[in-house]
Structure 1
């Protein structure tokens, strides 16, 4: 517990030491780049400020060709930093985008003063460079009234961050906080930030400052940074900039730093407080309006309002307003088709039936556009000059009584209007085609559909188009099943083959083969597919070296016939061997051989064997796979030799003879 507590404190101390070292290194780099110590995000760190100030003091001494010997008034570490930075000061230069100022510090160059951006873009200065942006500069907003960017008065709308003890003063595009409280001895007000910062002194002034002998009047020594129009007033330890006092009727312009006369527009006077006040012309004697008129004051002017008058269409007689009969005196604007009717103070124009008065003229009244059902069902309203008529649309005819439109049955009226089928609908008809036909673009005649070209794989082999339908056909040796599939015909089972009595019929896909199986000497034919070694024959030839039976002589030959379709999917299993008669002390080893028709073609035998793969799944079972596609009409003979081992010694051999036939058709059962 004691060790863990010490470790926690030691870790904390090491972390703080590394942080102070990092901040100190950043302070040294800032001073060696000739940048002010307060122009970085680390200015609030004590170790950064101490190292930066110590190095900055050495840089100034070195650039002024003073002695670089360590100062005894500084502590050992600060004195060392002063000495090292003083020696490096002679080779220091400003980076690109900065220039050396009179106080031997690198100041940013304002490239925007040379207007490097296009006329429609604004220039924004950045440290060491600039960028072109669109819109108003920061501190300005677009004025629709003036059609230009206007300064934002942050002080008036309270969008400033001046703290207590500062007052806000608006400036073009920005604002600044004027400090109203004094800084302590040895500090001065930064003219930009209006904060108290340590004043920079040369080496001799530093010694005097340490001895308490320095009292600086920045205004008297003209080392202040007050702008034109501002008066410098010294205070203990600093100074402040006060705008000059303007005469009555003038206002201080912070942008130009001068007093300017307040210009009020016509109808306004300047007050003692420097504001423009509206002149009330109606309060003047005599009144600017005539007798019988009322004077109303407006901003910057006035207006006269008539107090007694007659409305339009009336005339004054003996202080009464009497109606004027515009129709009687012909003082109206009615068109020739309309009739003038007098009204009090005006007149109206009455158009004949079927017309409406609009825009000073009698125009036709479109009764059909009113939306009211004025015509019978299914009829169409057609406007005429001053009236309308009802017409039946295409496909309809007016009934005998003329009260409604009835449908025309085009299928009965014209039986041959459609080639095959006609369907009547309200107001029209449409043509249909029988199954297997499609309507032509004329919408009346039909054409046969070629289902074979329209639908892929409609038939398994051959598709034959017919009028209104189709039929499928199969090649010889196949029968049509379910109207589209081709089923192999087993000629051997149907007894439609021509094999002789001593031959065996083997069915293939679409055909058959006749095989004659002759067992080798010493073997007996068992059934149709097996040749078994004769034990008596082995005894009789046991002394014959060429014919005697040994463990290397197969005990049986088994014949199998495989018929494969063309383009079979690969890999696929085509044959399987299962031997369940072996006991637990026995196992089988399998070997695959290709028997070419021409025994000299050994190279083709290797390529053919590459198309097959024999996999052993247990000590008794093996599966034969086709792993490469075979050619149509191929006839291949494969031998699978099975060696049986008893207690790891070879005991017998059996051979499976496989005869593979590949069809030209890719038909499956």
Structure 2
């Protein structure tokens, strides 16, 4: 298309045979032009987006007249700057829809952008060209020229030669091949080392000959021809390629005689005068003052003379009195053809009919003059012209009133004239008005009354938990244990952190989604408590009961219990990691084994412990770091107690056992995203 190939759009007029074909052609040409303009706007918009995403400044000079380039480039550049500053990439309401979308897309891509090869990041967070020539990358015999993103090594050559990177030397420029010559039509260009020459291929024509050196056409010497071409009364002149003979100029009153080849004096017969152009014209003797005829005679001009004609009659409209023709007043005696309402006006020798104001003379009578058909300027703006017999009236259009007769049509403020015309808001406009509703309401089909909008049913996920519609708005509520945040988000209240719980001193307060739970971490017999969540096997206790078969410490007795408490939401991405065990580095002769066991659960939906355990998975890395992953959705339940047994083997012999006791609480509330 024209927009893609030339970056311009132009309309060409075409002539068609019939009117219908011409009508269709005009529509097609306009549609094609509109399509071209739309594609051209999209093309420059894409160029602007590419510039901003390359972290280059928007081109202010070359494309300063292309609005779509500037707008798209600036909107994307704003998004890139916001994204690189770790700003919020949410759409900006102050921008229009398209610019806001470009802002958001460029903002999200900003952190992945980098400068192209040959460019570096400047202090203004824009990519700047690297001047490679500063590091002298070219050989000493060549000159370095910096280019955007790269450089060129240029060798100086003599006129007619150019440096070749391929051959590493100056090569002849073929001016004929690249059309860098001045040979004219009829010449053939022939390339020469460092130059070219033009060779003539066609004749020069009559009166010219070819110059053997310059190959140009030279004028032939025709002086000898002119010497033999002269004739009596003619002047011969040399012209390019030939000659021509013209008659000699004659003086005023003379005329050139082509037969004798001489100028001869012109003579006019009596009653004619000679003009400057050499023509004889008739003399109008009747136009002379005084007239050559008597007062009672009429002078008639004839070719070369005149004649006086005696007359005793007066022309129509005149009457003879005492040998004088006097005017007849047709209007006074009623001898006229003017029909009412026309008025008769007497003139010398005749009369004419005049029409009163507001009428025009047409078809031998006075008809009403339709002033309204003469254009819209006769009446003020916002009015319509109404014709009347002999005059017209200006009527203001609906919504306007006349201030003074044929003066100004002023807008009627319907909102002030009828305050109850709209239920909530009335906006006056020129010639009319329209009704608006307050925020949270919508205009009914009668365009006057308003109805409340149920935002909760119209917009999904308007609130994170529950939406309640109220007149003109809505309200978001959260379950107990949560506070409302930013009008729609539910933020959990951390009772443990705020100290608003009732857990005993020896218990651990664990914050849940919408509440808290008190956990006791009493250590079993033979274990000593370290901190709030760790029980370590007591060496003294083991030594004291080493002879007791039921109580003595063996390698199968865990060396420590570690308590961990986890609170999970009812809705989360699956799979997801909820717990991790990081082991110290084991020696080469050691390895670890892990076992996941379900100790306790409270599931109102399913009583199968195996189904609950299948929703968890242990993922063991080569370094014996363990990740506990939830692989399936969990139902809101009171509590799940899992134990992870970690066994350390030395030379394939059990060395020690550690138990991680996990207490998992699932949020009972299902929140929107």
Q: TM-score range by the shorter chain?
A: 0.3 to 0.5
- The higher radius of gyration belongs to 1
Report the TM-score when normalising by structure 2.
0.43
